[in-house]
Structure 1
Amino acid sequence: MSQGVILYGPPASGKDTVTAALTDLSPRYAQFARLKVGSGKSSGYRMGTAEQLRELEAAGAVVYANSRYDNTYVIDRPGLDDAFEAGVPVVHLGQVAGIRALVDGYPADWSVVLLWCPREVTEQRSTGRGDSDTAARLVAWDATREDLDKHPGATWDLTVDTTAASPQDAARLIDQLLAQRAGVATA
């Protein structure tokens, strides 16, 4: 069965940075570009229209969708099909419901990784990278914390405190996890 990685965590917990370290470690890893309906940052997304979203919904091809920052973010079956053909997709999520929808709705060997950092670190990182919506990211951090509190049974294949582990260390841990799950000995 094809392997995929889900990185779950609040804004600025390191999802982009750890994904970059994974792609540096092996070209088989690539961030899954969700379909984004809305405006703002387009890097890392496949920008779409409300009409495209309606067509995907009508075809039953939406695995998960959520709204945040006045945009809709979609994990779609055709996008996942393409991502798995290319290698090991790394999907970024900030909702436990999204993890469940993906694990239950798209057959693959999903490794679920919790990346965590304290709220003040999210604020520092967001401000440091020049985000214009740091306040909204802190609201999202609070929502992620509440989401975790509402789902105490959520399980993680790996948990990484991104204030203690470097992105490269986190990437190596994730790569080792996938190798172990595949039954391959790691170096």
Structure 2
Amino acid sequence: MGTAEQLADLEKAGDVVYQNSRYGNTYVIDRPGLNDTFDSGVPIVHLGQIEGIDALVAGYPADWSSVLLWCSRRTTEARSAGRGDSDTAARLAAWDATQADVDAHPAQAWDLSVDTAAVEPVEAAQLIHALLSRRGEVDRPQ
């Protein structure tokens, strides 16, 4: 979380790798935050746009792995309603935009795709950990 002034400082310093506005908020991936995350372990960056992935890979070179966590529109709607979200329509519009983005970039190579309606969060985490372990990016659990 940050202020408009902090965002302006990041922009002035050239430290904004990617920013996006959605749900009335501005989301930023910033270089200092990535540096801190890399210093403390394996970073996980949540992005909903291919443009964001491209900006991250180009703006912060690293050996990134890409994981598509996905569920159907129907599941998205049910989950939003189940949480009592007041912005379900906006979330479905975001789902539609993301689906169009994925469809428009069929060449996007995902290192792993997970259907979150079929795979529990713990299993998804295990699949991601296994992917990173195969790539030598994390130690295997003991």
- Give the match's secondary structure for 1:75: strand
Given that 1:62 and 1:77 are in contact with CA atoms closer than 8 Å, whether structure 2 keeps it comes out as yes
Instruction: Return structure 1 stretches of 4+ with deviation > 2 angstroms.
Output: 183-187
Native 8 Å contact 1:180 1:186 kept in 2: no
* TM-score of the two chains, using structure 2 as the length reference: 0.92
Candidates 10, 33, 42, aligned match of 1:56:
10
- Give distance in 1, aligned partners of 2:136 and 2:130: 10
The two structures have a TM-score, normalised by structure 1, of 0.71
- Alpha-carbon spacing, 1:49–1:168, altered in 2? closer, same or farther (3 Å): same
Deviation, structure 1 residue 107: 2.3
1:63 and 1:185 map into 2 onto residues whose CA distance is: 28
Equivalent residue, structure 1, for 2:129:
175
Q: Does 1:150 align with 2:101?
A: no
Match of 2:59 among 105, 120, 129: 105
d(CA) in 2 for partners of 1:50, 1:71: 11
In structure 1, the partner of 2:35 is: 81
| Larger fraction in helix | 2
RMSD after superposition: 1.7
- Point out where structure 1 has 5 or more consecutive residues left out of the alignment: 1-46
What is the SS of the residue equivalent to 1:110? Answer: coil
Q: Match of 1:164? A: 118
Aligned length: 141
1:88-127 aligned within 5 A = 88-127=42-81
The whole-number CA distance in structure 2 between the counterparts of 1:56 and 1:185 is 33
Quick one: distance in 2 between partners of 1:186 and 1:92?
A: 23
Counterpart of 1:111 in 2: which secondary structure? coil
User: Which of residues 5, 24, 30 in structure 2 aligns to 1:70?
Assistant: 24
Highest RCO, 1 vs 2 (Cα 8 Å, sep ≥ 6): 1
CA separation of 1:186 and 1:56: change in aligned 2, threshold 3 A: closer
Q: Give 1 or 2: higher strand fraction.
A: 1
SS where residue 123 of structure 1 aligns? Answer: helix
Name the CA shift for 1:144/1:75 in 2 (closer, same or farther; >3 Å).
Answer: same
